Amino acid sequence: AQRVTQPEKLLSVFKGAPVELKCNYSYSGSPELFWYVQYSRQRLQLLLRHISRESIKGFTADLNKGETSFHLKKPFAQEEDSAMYYCALVGISARQLTFGSGTQLTVLP
Amino acid sequence: EAGVTQSPTHLIKTRGQQATLRCSPISGHTSVYWYQQALGLGLQFLLWYDEGEERNRGNFPPRFSGRQFPNYSSELNVNALELEDSALYLCASGDKMNTEAFFGQGTRLTVV
């Protein structure tokens, strides 16, 4: 069974501070990991995926297979980063998309 | 290119009634996923259809059902509506070559 855990339901940081949103997964194999973001009144959209290894809007995420984690990081948070963030997993064989419960990030001025 | 479209945008039903929600995937996408986004509960996986077949379903009672049509559009049916079914229902589509899912704007179902 595949499972994604986001331990923080709510996270608040001040503008300019570093931010880390935690994500742990369980999957018996090599999954593909994603971060999706939902800004207020917008549809859920892909932020980044681990295979592309790119930085989007200053966010990065590194897949740690030893710790089965895929934490999302940004060195200097901005107010426009305030949104709901979901970590997600796709199994290579099953190709079913499984989401974590989400973390509501609020960046304070 | 048109994105994933869902209809209706809002739906109000009374307890015990049936609701039908519709989703049109991006052209060329064969997979459709349905999720329930209830307040404070995040995204709960409901159903996954691919090439007309149900591939998997989440931990929801049988009164949640659906189907996928030959043109890959999909319907989600919820029978015997209960108050706790009130939520935003999201549809997403994907294709075989790309594991990214593209989401619709959702249908807000309110059961009164």
Q: Could you count the other beta carbons within 10 Å of the beta carbon of residue A18? A: 10
**pLDDT truncated to tens, each residue of chain A (109 aa)?**
788 999 999 999 999 999 999 999 998 877 889 999 999 989 999 999 887 778 889 999 988 988 999 999 999 999 999 999 999 998 766 667 889 999 999 999 9
pLDDT tens across B71-107, in order? Answer: 999 999 999 999 999 999 999 998 876 678 899 999 9
Domain ranges of chain A: 3-108
User: Which DSSP string corresponds to B51-70?
Assistant: TTEEEEE-S--TTEEEEE-T
Supply the Cα-derived Rg of chain A in whole angstroms.
13
Which among B45, B50, B105 has the least Cβ separation from residue A98? Answer: B45
Return phi, psi of residue B85, to 5°: -80, -10
Dist. CA A63–CA B16, nearest whole Å: 45
Dist. CA B74–CA B66, nearest whole Å: 7
Q: How far is A101 from chain B (nearest CA, A)?
A: 5
**So what's the pLDDT on residue B41?**
75
Size of interface A-B (CB pairs under 8 A): 48
Q: What is the CATH number of domain A3-108?
A: 2.60.40.10
**What does the block give as tokens for A6?**
């986001």
Residue type for B57, please? Answer: R
**So what's the pLDDT on residue B110?**
97
Domains annotated on chain B, with CATH = 5-111 (2.60.40.10)
Dist. CA A25–CA A17, nearest whole Å: 26
A49 by DSSP, 3-state: which? strand
Indicate which of A2, A5, A44, A105 best probes the interface with B, i.e. most B CBs within 10 Å of its own CB. A44
List CB contacts (< 8 A) between A46 and chain B.
Answer: 100-101
pLDDT tens across B21-65, in order? Answer: 999 999 999 999 999 998 877 888 899 999 999 988 989 999 999
Cite the DSSP H helix spans in B4-70: none
